[in-house]
Amino acid sequence: MRSGAAREPIDPADVQWTRVSDKLITLRVLGWLIGFVIAVLVFSAPLVLMFIDVWPEFPAWVAWALPAVVIIIALWRLVLIPRQVRAIGYAERHEDLLIRQGLFFQRVMVVPYGRMQYVDISVGPIERAMGLASLKLHTASPGTNAMLVGLPGPEAARLREQLSSLGEAKLAGL
């Protein structure tokens, strides 16, 4: 996942991480853009109402501050999206699958193959257009269900088949 980079304290030793597709950055930026436009429109309403004298008594500093704060927060989020996507990865090991995510609040989840009940792939219309898919691993405990987003379609299908086979083999061996 990050060749040559220092290993994070929560990363298991000797694990080769596979990153998700960089197309996920584009997908998340599209989602960000939609949310940004809606938020700016909503939080600019007092400013517009003040300018057209519908709400002239509204404090001008608040009317200007609302959209400014939204823009600052949105730009910070935009800067973080590529780093957040590059922090998502997975590693297939002999007995389990590791899933890593998070930039500030990092998480490494271990899903033993023998605990998997079924593996689900989902694809939305925008994901389909970009050739991406999401893989969800269902286990006996809902708290340990895991999801990998931003996988290339063929890789998601390969993982589904492989994880299903490994899950059945490990379950049969119990």
10, part of any domain: no
Whether residue 112 is found in the same domain as residue 75: no
CATH (domain of 101): 2.30.29
Q: Say how far apart CA 68 and CA 153 lie, in whole Å.
A: 39
Do 76 and 106 reside in the same domain of the chain? no
Residue 50 — very low, low, confident or very high, per pLDDT cuts 50/70/90? Answer: very high
- Give the whole-angstrom CA distance, residue 100 versus residue 146: 10
Q: Flag whether 153 is in a domain.
A: yes
Whether 9 maps to a domain, the answer reads: no
Is residue 54 situated within a structural domain? yes
Cα–Cα distance for residue pair 101/149, rounded to 1 Å: 10
CA distance 50 to 44: 10
**Distance between CA 118 and CA 44 in Å, rounded?**
47
Q: pTM higher than 0.95, yes or no?
A: no
63 and 93 both lie in a single domain: no
Question: Are 139 and 126 part of one and the same domain?
Answer: yes
Span 57-74, pLDDT tens digits: 999 999 999 999 999 999
pLDDT score of 96: 93
- 156 in the same domain as 96: yes
Domain count, the chain: 2
Domain that holds residue 166: 89-172
Can you give the pLDDT at residue 174? 56
Q: How confident is the model at residue 2 (pLDDT cuts 50, 70, 90)?
A: very low
Q: Does 100 share its domain with 145?
A: yes
Q: Are residues 66 and 129 in the same domain?
A: no
CA 68 to chain CA centroid, Å, is 26
How far CA 19 is from CA of 22, 24, 60, 88, 137, in Å, comes to 8, 11, 47, 6, 17
Same domain, 168 and 98: yes
The model's confidence at residue 3, banded by pLDDT at 50, 70 and 90, is very low
**Domain final position from 65, 84, 103:** 84
Q: Who contacts 146 (Cβ-Cβ below 8 Å, separation ≥6)?
A: 97, 99, 109, 111, 136, 137, 139
Alpha carbon of residue 170 to chain centroid: 29
Q: Which of 170, 130, 163 is nearest to 24 (CA)?
A: 130
Other Cβ atoms less than 10 A from the Cβ of 51: the count is: 12
Residue 12 domain-assigned?
no
The token pair that represents 87 in the structure block: 């922090």
